[in-house]
Amino acid sequence: MYPAREHRVRILFFGDIVGSPGRKALAEVLPRWREAHQPDLIIANAENAAGGMGITPHVAEEIFSYGVQVITLGNHTFNKKEAVRLLEDNPRVLRPLNYPPGVPGHGYGVFSAAGVEVAVVSLMGRIFMDPIDDPFQQARTLVPLLRQRTPCILIDIHAEATSEKAAIAWMLDGQVSAVIGTHTHVATADARVLPAGTAFITDVGMVGPLNSILGVKQEIIVTRFLNWMPARFEVAGGPATVNAVLIEIQAATGLTEQIIHLQEVVNLTTTDL
C-alpha cells in the first residue's frame, strides 16, 4: 500500500492496445495494478485496439468497462468508419490535436482525478508519418491556455521518430507534467523526469502479443520484408505483454515527482483471443 498523499495525482498510462489479445491482457492486469498502485486517472492509447488497426464504439466501451477513463489515439484514428461517431459522441476519446481544422472529435480534454483537474492532450508526430499540422506549434499555443485552468497536463506524443518525441518533451519541460511517447510499440528504457519537472519516456511499449512483430504475426512481416508484396496484417496470438507508466504529480505545481515503467507478461488461452 502507498502512504497517504495529499496534493498528489497518480496517473497510470497504458501503451498502444493491440487487438483482442491486448484488450484481454488489459482486462486481466488492470484490476491488480489498480489495487497495487492506486491511480487517480487511468489512460490508454487504443488506436490499434479494434482488430489491430483503429477503434470502434464497441471496443472503446469494452476498454472503458475495464477501468480506463481516457483513450488517446494516433495515425490509425479513422481506419474504422465508426470512429467518426465515437469521436463526435464521447469526449473521453481523444484524436490527435494537430489534425486539420474541421476533423471530427477533440484533441484534448480536462478530467477530474481525485478532485484535481488533469488536462490530457493527444499529439501526433510528422516525421515518417502523415504530413498533418505542426505538433510543436499546436502544443506551444495550447499549453499556456490549459495552464490557466490547471498545471497538471499530460501529453501523448504518438510519433515514429525518437528525436521528435524528445524535442517535444524538452520544449515543454517545466510547462507540462508528462510527455509520453507511443506508436512504435517497443518499450524504451529511458523513463525519467527532465530537469524542470516534466516526466518523459520515448515509448511506453504496447499492450499486445509478445511473440509478434509490433503485434502482428511474425511470418507476415518477415515475408513482407523478403518479397515487398502487399499483405493483410493479422494480430498474433499467444502470451501478451502489458506495458504502462505510473506517474506521480504534484497537484499544485503540475511537476512530476517520479515516473515508473511497469511491465507484465500475461498467458492468454485460445479462448481469450
Q: Which residue bears the cell 488461452? A: 269
Closest to 97 measured CA to CA, from 56, 148, 136, 59? 136
Burial track 47-69 (b if 16+ CB lie within 10 A, e otherwise): bbbbbbbbbbbebbebbbebbbb
Q: 252 near 151, Cβ under 8 Å?
A: yes
Active site residues: 76
The C-alpha atoms of residue 253 and residue 152 are separated, in whole angstroms, by 7
Q: Please give the backbone phi and psi of residue 28, each rounded to the nearest 5 degrees, phi first.
A: -80, -40
Closest to 206 measured CA to CA, from 53, 32, 87, 80? 53
